[in-house]
Structure 1
Amino acid sequence: MSRNVGGTWTIPGGALQLNESVEECITRIVLEDIGIKIMKLKLFGVYSGKELINRVEVSGDEYHPVAIVYVCTEYDGEITPENNQAIEAQFFKLNQLPEQIVPFIKNKLVELKGQLTKIKDSY
């Protein structure tokens, strides 16, 4: 997870560039923002709805993103946030999430934890 220093924790994300796949986009953004090279992704879900509406503070404009969420199962490197963006980043265990976390993200991580528990219990 990452956040602007002192801000709310979230997961890396951003906008697609021209001619870029969703997988290429998230791979690029994670590498740029926190220095991790993603090697393997698994689609977790595609989400939209009222809880995702964002507002630009300066203009007050609202936009409605679609969240395409992946779970990274293989990566290379260590977290090294880009210094000039004042970003801090770290890994959290699913049962030790930080207090200041975007509610939508927290709900999806709790959902992921439940799915992983079901898979583990079926073995």
Structure 2
Amino acid sequence: MNYCEDIRAMIGNSPLIVVRPSAGIINNKGEVLLYRYSGGTWGIPGGILQLNESVEECIKRNVKVDLGLILNSLQLFGVYSGQELNSKPEDGEDEYHTVAIGYLCTDYEGEISSDKNQAIEAEYFKLDQLPEETDPVIKNKLIELKENFNKN
């Protein structure tokens, strides 16, 4: 079991605050890497922070396991929280209040080799041609990122 599962076993469906580091991985064409689980919405790679792990270690571990990429350096993009990041439980599902820590990464190694056991689909997209099924919070942050690129 992992830390969140251990806590969930103790508290049941009560709200749980989780820290979710994520990375906007940008290739040399200025495209962002999005991924999704089979049939889900597109988002940026991320994971849930485990006990005794730094946020940087967490995102690097998750990207390596899920996508086969090694992130060399990360640049903090922003820290986000609020109701739009909270899960809305239905039918007794677990409730999560997420604190998202967003990084940008242009310095990485490897080729995408997604974890087939988790049915992960991964693809690069231009910032002005994001799929319609992109998570709305992620889409807004990527639009913000595109605007920042245009200013520079």
TM-score (norm 1): 0.90
- Counting matched residue pairs gives 119
Secondary structure at the aligned position of 1:66 is classed as strand
Which residue is equivalent to 1:104?
137
The CA deviation at 1:58 is: 6.2
Matching residue's letter, 2:65 = E
SS of residue matched to 2:44: coil
SS at match of 1:46: strand
Q: Which amino acid aligns with 1:46?
A: V
Q: Tell me how far apart the structure 2 counterparts of residues 71 and 45 of structure 1 sit (CA, whole Å).
A: 9
- Mapped partners of 1:115, 1:26: distance in 2: 23
Structure 1 position 68 matched with structure 2 position 101: yes
Residue 126 of structure 2 aligns to a residue whose secondary structure is: coil
Closer, same or farther in 2 for the Cα pair 1:80/1:56, shift >3 Å?
farther
Distance of 2:135 and 2:40 partners within structure 1:
10
Shift of 1:55: 3.6
Question: Which residue number corresponds to residue 32 of structure 1?
Answer: 65
**Corresponding residue for 2:41?**
8
Match of 1:51 among 75, 84, 91: 84
Q: For structure 1, which segment, 53-62 or 42-51, has the greater mean C-alpha deviation from structure 2 after superposition?
A: 53-62
In the alignment, which of 70, 77, 81 is matched to residue 110 of structure 2? 77
State the match for 1:22 in structure 2.
55
Letter in 1 for 2:107: E
Partner Cα separation in structure 2 for residue 55 and residue 84 of structure 1: 27
Within 1, Cα distance between the matches of 2:68 and 2:89?
27
Instruction: Supply the RMSD in Å over aligned alpha carbons.
Output: 1.3
* Larger strand fraction of residues: 2
Once the two structures are superposed, residues 73-102 of structure 1 have per-residue CA deviations (whole angstroms, 9 ceiling, x without a partner) of 210011111010011111111111111010
Cα deviation per residue 1:27-46 (whole Å; 9 max; x = unaligned)? Answer: 00011111111011100000
Note closer, same or farther for the CA distance 1:9–1:57 as it changes in structure 2 (3 Å cut): farther
Matching residue of 1:41:
74
Tell me the equivalent position of 1:88. 121
Give 5+ residue unaligned stretches, structure 1. Answer: none
Cα distance in 2 for partners of 1:35, 1:56 equals: 32
Using the TM superposition, name which of 104-113 and 1-10 deviates more. Answer: 1-10
Gaps of 5+ in 2: 1-33
